[in-house]
Structure 1
């Protein structure tokens, strides 16, 4: 009996690990634009491509639905969620508060190694911006903000941020496609990094909040 329980538990762990890997792959496909808002997630194609059953794919879709990145429609399958403008603006407001808090706490709590890692991401962003590689810049931009939240050292903040950030990411890449937006964005990230590096919590918080507010303004301008 105990052996059977152990075997069942082991199978559960294997299934969870596979589902998590599929979840990360789907998330990357969504954030990179390979899967577009409103697009149906083809379970059959993924199953054949990844050489796995549909069960971990469905579990991954359920997890992503909790983050608001996927919408599961009864009898119709799973679709990349579409975020409307009103919801995006509400998410930007939440994001501004969370980013400001994260930068403040990171300025106070980040280790020297953590700050050095953040600096490497800024260097990568400079390189991508110089070559006008917006997709690569966007991906590194995501890592930059996630790293600041990690450096803040608050598990509760990480949990809240993940939900808001992932839903908003469905909308955000559009703002980086505007003329000169990459260089402007880079300049702002450099300022945030410098404030954290100098342990200036107040300035870091202000710059992080302003960065989000400007991104929200760019979004509104593109919708007028």
Structure 2
């Protein structure tokens, strides 16, 4: 195994990919998932119409929330310009999205969000940062609030020459450790977890460069 990949280089990679509109091996330009679409369609009118999208990437989930009538705080470590260009003249819903450039672990959750989305971002954080972030989100949640998380566990990364790679400071969850943390943090919520195998190919070699077990979490706070 080589030394850890720096978080700065990861940030530079995603900044370049989003600014150029490139669809990377992980499919950054993908549409929202069917599970998320089903959740969004099921949300009652009583749910506060303000949402948080942590790690918005290309902006697809933030846009879906805005189209559904939510005011969206969209947070990512990359510059906001690509999302602002995508929103320019997009429609009456575009003004509902407020992009903020900020590391996910540095964002302070100090209000009630009817919906929180964190897709493919939390596994990059250190475990204490994930716990602090989600614990704060739960502490500030009200009745009828929903959290939708997609988190990679059991990650194996390889370079083009087959060397094992890891990202500096990443959580390194196993499915079991992630489940334990989620069940503890969301102990009073209705909790649904889905598990699926995930793989990405290196376009240069055709070999898998990323393998993981993706955890999809749908947490609903039914309390009044």
With the length of structure 2 as denominator, give the TM-score of the two structures: 0.23
Query: As a proportion of its length, which structure holds more helix?
Result: 1
Greater gyration radius: 1
> With CA pairs under 8 Å and 6+ residues apart, which has the higher RCO, 1 or 2?
1
With normalisation by structure 1, the TM-score equals: 0.23
